[in-house]
Amino acid sequence: MADKFSHLAEDGSVRMVDVSAKPVTKRVATAEAMISLRPETIAKIDSNQVAKGNVLATARVAAIQAVKRTGELIPLCHTLPVHHAQVEFENRTEGIRIKCRVATAAQTGVEMEALTGASIAALTIYDMCKAIDKVMVISGVRLLSKSKESQ
């Protein structure tokens, strides 16, 4: 038996999935993204010498803001109460790894919120550094984990 797409109605039209009968459970998801940067760019970010300001602080705020607005950005995504959003940055030789962890108590998961947060953090870093680094690449946007616990 072929898997059915939950966002397709029997007639093939798109629909928002009805989660109203599902119980509220604690949901957590973590996603990551990578942005490759030249070593000189990473050094400027670390020493807060990028002309546009504090890159990682700005990227963190942008990610949290995006997490809270995911339902407005992705057409069939439910708007969820975000109870916690955490964004971490890890410098690597080739760039910066971004991890975004999101938690809620809801009837559906927060995978899209975590993925959106990691993506927007990477895009914000790109925007703030594009004048000094012309070879940046955003890659590896993926879900690392998701969990659900009964309330």
Contact 84, 22 (CB under 8 A): no
Instruction: Select which of 3, 11, 127, 133 is catalytic.
Output: 127
Instruction: Evaluate the CA torsion angle 117, 123, 126, 131 in order and state its sign.
Output: negative
Contact 109, 146 (CB under 8 A): yes
What's phi and psi for 71, nearest 5 deg? -60, -25
Contact 89, 58 (CB under 8 A): no
11 catalytic residue (yes or no): no
Active site (catalytic) residues: 127
